[in-house]
Structure 1
């Protein structure tokens, strides 16, 4: 299968390139300003994903069998800081890719987010649960889902992904990498004891994406996440313990939503996802957090600090 991949240098994009290549697919990756090569790509191109005409020309030239959209501004604070650029990448880009996928009869996988929900439900959110976004990023993801499935109803898959873990190309993007960045700089990360997430690795999510592309019956919106729902504090504590770091070398400051209600108004308390109908049907396993920890490496930029800590 010829696959066109956007956001190829990101945490998920780079993991997907390797997962798809392992399965024998040919992946052409579009990157922004990433200076190096992305492992797993058959070809790599630099592209401005906000330039619709140039993007359209590239897609029509490559004529892929499938398009995978991993490009996004995924940090809510960054969306608030530059809403126009966030709108271009989080909404306009997937809408364009969906129109092109429909034109080419190409499969499309679009990544959305658990954050389309408001985080107040005591039960895990199902794919049929009403969406209720509480920040700009989440509103953009809701809009992107609607546009994608309107433009390419017969070809599109949307995966609502959780907090993602793993090893990025830059060593600075995932949860444990950001903790290492703070600790090595002498900072104390503030972590919520009453915010709960259900993380999985980018590589596990990528394996699922490849599997769904290979299944001709997969269409619509799906959820994917890990097996464990844990507080942000518990996630950070387990990462620290896994790397055998002391409380002194790797301190954590616990905070609660009540302590900062203004920030909490744009943050979801609990984003547990019901993984049906995929759970028990797909071959990709649902990862425990313990299994995720075993895959984490010490980010290269912080190894000198780690071995002196």
Structure 2
């Protein structure tokens, strides 16, 4: 299968490229300013994804069997401070890709976020009503609507949670950001009352490849690890995995502090609508940790301990 992949140099995109290659697929990856090579790509192109005309020309030139969209601006502060710019990638890009997928009769896998929900329910199901509480989440929900309005027969949206993994830059994922904090001589403050259902990026990528190969799983689904954990519990497990002292993390409560009003308290999901149909299965957090390595930018700090 020929697959066009946006966001190929990111944490999720690079994992997808590796997974797709293992399953024998030919992946053309689109990167932005990333100058290195991405393992798993059959070919790699630099393109400003805000240039929708150039994107259209490339898609029509390559005529892929599937389009996978991993490109997004995911930082909540960036979306809040400049929603017009972030919407170019978070809304206009997937809308254009959906239109092109429909034109080519191609499968379209669009990545959305757990954050379309408000975090007030104990468990979210496939038919739960979204209620975004920040600009990033609002843009992701709008992208879902536009994608499925334009390409209902071809599109699958996958709502993903907090991701673990080893990114090309070594600075993108959960454990990598903790290492960045520690290498600066700082203690990482982690909430005991904020819960997420973290997922290894390689596991999510395997699920995405399966979705590319299936014609019967269109619509919107959630994916994640096997159960929710507090941020502090994740930090404890990461410290233990790397043999680091737990004193590197400090517990805190988000409570009703207005500074965290745009962060959800708990995002837990029923994954059975999708896990019951895929060979790939949700992983326990402890099993996810087995794949993590010390990030390259912080190995000198780690080795100095």
TM-score by length of 2: 0.98
- Kindly indicate whether the alpha-carbon contact (under 8 Å) linking 1:223 and 1:276 is maintained by their aligned counterparts in 2: no
Quote the Cα distance in structure 1 between the aligned partners of 2:246 and 2:24. Answer: 45
Question: Equivalent residue for 1:235?
Answer: 234
Question: Equivalent residue for 1:246?
Answer: 245
Partner residue of 2:254 out of 245, 253, 257: 257
Quote the Cα distance in structure 1 between the aligned partners of 2:276 and 2:144. Answer: 25
TM-score by length of 1: 0.97
Question: Equivalent residue for 1:37?
Answer: 37
Tell me whether 1:305 sits opposite 2:301 in the alignment.
yes
Question: Equivalent residue for 1:71?
Answer: 71
- Matches of residues 1-309 of structure 1 in structure 2 within 5 Å? 1-122=1-122, 124-248=123-247, 251-258=248-255, 261-309=257-305
Task: Look up the SS of the partner of 1:278 in the other structure.
Answer: helix
Deviation at residue 32 of structure 1 after TM alignment: 0.3
- Please give the per-residue CA displacement for 1:14-72, whole angstroms capped at 9, x wherever unaligned: 00001001111100000000010000000000000001111111111111000000000
- Kindly indicate whether the alpha-carbon contact (under 8 Å) linking 2:187 and 2:250 is maintained by their aligned counterparts in 1: yes
Quote the Cα distance in structure 1 between the aligned partners of 2:277 and 2:80. Answer: 38
Deviation at residue 257 of structure 1 after TM alignment: 1.6
Q: Which runs of 5+ in 2 are unaligned?
A: none
- Kindly indicate whether the alpha-carbon contact (under 8 Å) linking 2:116 and 2:138 is maintained by their aligned counterparts in 1: yes
Quote the Cα distance in structure 1 between the aligned partners of 2:13 and 2:81. Answer: 24
Deviation at residue 80 of structure 1 after TM alignment: 1.6
RMSD: 0.9
Q: Which runs of 5+ in 1 are unaligned?
A: none
Task: Look up the SS of the partner of 1:160 in the other structure.
Answer: strand
- Kindly indicate whether the alpha-carbon contact (under 8 Å) linking 1:3 and 1:25 is maintained by their aligned counterparts in 2: yes
Deviation at residue 228 of structure 1 after TM alignment: 2.2
How many residues are paired up?
Answer: 305
- Kindly indicate whether the alpha-carbon contact (under 8 Å) linking 2:236 and 2:246 is maintained by their aligned counterparts in 1: no
Task: Look up the SS of the partner of 2:101 in the other structure.
Answer: helix
10-19 vs 261-270, greater mean Cα deviation: 261-270
Task: Look up the SS of the partner of 2:236 in the other structure.
Answer: helix
Quote the Cα distance in structure 2 between the aligned partners of 1:264 and 1:129. Answer: 23
Quote the Cα distance in structure 1 between the aligned partners of 2:179 and 2:4. Answer: 33
- Please give the per-residue CA displacement for 1:259-286, whole angstroms capped at 9, x wherever unaligned: x622221000000011121123210021
- Please give the per-residue CA displacement for 1:150-184, whole angstroms capped at 9, x wherever unaligned: 01010000000010001001110000000000001
Task: Look up the SS of the partner of 2:273 in the other structure.
Answer: coil
- Kindly indicate whether the alpha-carbon contact (under 8 Å) linking 1:197 and 1:271 is maintained by their aligned counterparts in 2: yes
- Kindly indicate whether the alpha-carbon contact (under 8 Å) linking 1:32 and 1:48 is maintained by their aligned counterparts in 2: yes
Task: Look up the SS of the partner of 2:59 in the other structure.
Answer: helix
